[in-house]
Copies of this chain bind each other. A is one copy, B any other.
Amino acid sequence: MKLEKWNQSYGFLLGKVLQQMETRFADGLAQYDINARQYGVLLFIEGNPYSSQKDISESLQIDRTTMVSHIDHLETLGFVERTRNPNDRRSYSLLITPRGNDVLNSRWEFLIKTELAVLAPLSQQERKLLKDLLVKVWITL
């Protein structure tokens, strides 16, 4: 791999590393019939139970109308449940089902393994450094 102008950009490098992680992770999700975004939605609901679809849309920056299809799909698979929010019956309170929880746990381990595989060239210390730098940027976004 030659270092040229076009791969001196942070965006290019971030994109390449991310692309690897996403492709590999997607392979491990296929058996559950969900994609990486939908797994992200599951993760978010796990960490923020009783969220509305709007909450998730805004936090994950996924379009509200696309969110409808994601939740439809996850509900059909029995991974999430739409319950009404008694304080505002316009919105749902979304919850992870036991089946959804199994997927979350099983695929979380897989995700971590996948990311470590892509970051294999880095030492544990370097990986920690990378995460710290990324978090430092992310918290200001």
A58 to chain B: which residues have CB within 8 Å?
none
Interface size, A (range)? 35 or more
Cβ-based interface call for A68 (8 A): no
For A115-141 the 0/1 string (1 means CB < 8 A from B) is 100111110001101110111111111
Kindly state the separation between the CA atoms of A139 and B136 in the bound complex, as whole angstroms. 25
Among A43-51, A71-79, A83-91, A93-101, the stretch that binds chain B is A43-51
Kindly state the separation between the CA atoms of A17 and B138 in the bound complex, as whole angstroms. 6
Interface pairs (10), CB distance under 8 Å: A1-B139, A4-B47, A9-B111, A11-B22, A14-B17, A17-B137, A17-B141, A19-B61, A122-B133, A130-B130
